[in-house]
Chain A
Amino acid sequence: GDSVTQMEGPVTLSEEAFLTINCTYTATGYPSLFWYVQYPGEGLQLLLKATKADDKGSNKGFEATYRKETTSFHLEKGSVQVSDSAVYFCASNSGYALNFGKGTSLLVTP
């Protein structure tokens, strides 16, 4: 079945460092791809999404490009802030529901 694999954390970065969180997917069709973020004590929030190959989702300085040839949707940010500390989940849709990766915890230190 469809699945999502993302890099294991935790990831610890200094403020203003470059961030990459890898995500790859397997799917029988052409899923939409998502990144969700969960800040401490809060629910999951949609960060960005892409619905077809070569689409780039972007929000709050984060970007991810839907790469069909490598079945990837890596999350990047050029300069992270302390407030970006959270758990990030990559997900693909399987009809209505979502398939999630295991989550990657990010800690940004001042």
Chain B
Amino acid sequence: GAVVSQHPSRVICKSGTSVKIECRSLDFQATTMFWYRQFPKQSLMLMATSNEGSKATYEQGVEKDKFLINHASLTLSTLTVTSAHPEDSSFYICSAAQGIATNEKLFFGSGTQLSVL
């Protein structure tokens, strides 16, 4: 199946710094990408939906100035956690939709474990 690469897989940073997470579709063009967040033993919660070339749509309760999403090309979306704090420590995972999305055309990255000290 299609491959979505997410990088880095793990990052540890100091409080107050910013962290960028990349999500790339390696062998297909992704018009839409999704960013999820997962706390330990919790569901994956949708944070935002990004469409190439337009502003991301954030879910209720997600701070758009805190979690900056850029989807500048059909193969790359980035999530930047700005001025990270310990409560931002979580597992972040992206997914990419191939073409006109049906749910079986969603492909997931392997996730990024963020730890903020």
Interface residues of A (CB under 8 A from B): 4, 32, 34, 36, 41-46, 49, 89, 93, 96-103
Given contacts A43-B6, A44-B95, A49-B104, contact A97 B34 (CB under 8 A): yes
Instruction: Provide the residues of chain A in CB contact with B1, threshold 8 Å.
Output: 45
Alpha-carbon separation in the docked complex, A36 to B36 (Å): 15
Instruction: Provide the residues of chain A in CB contact with B101, threshold 8 Å.
Output: 96
Question: In the complex, are the beta carbons of A43 and B93 less than 8 A apart?
Answer: yes
11 pairs of residues in contact across A and B, judged by CB atoms under 8 Å? A32-B103, A41-B110, A43-B93, A43-B109, A45-B1, A46-B104, A49-B104, A97-B34, A97-B49, A98-B46, A100-B45
Question: In the complex, are the beta carbons of B32 and A96 less than 8 A apart?
Answer: yes
Partner of A97, one of B43, B46, B104: B46
For the residues of B in contact with A, the DSSP-based class is: strand
Q: How many A-B residue pairs have CB under 8 A?
A: 49
Question: In the complex, are the beta carbons of B107 and A43 less than 8 A apart?
Answer: yes
Partner of B43, one of A4, A45, A96: A4
The residue on A at minimum CB distance from B36 is: A100
Partner of B4, one of A43, A96, A98: A43
Alpha-carbon separation in the docked complex, A101 to B48 (Å): 18
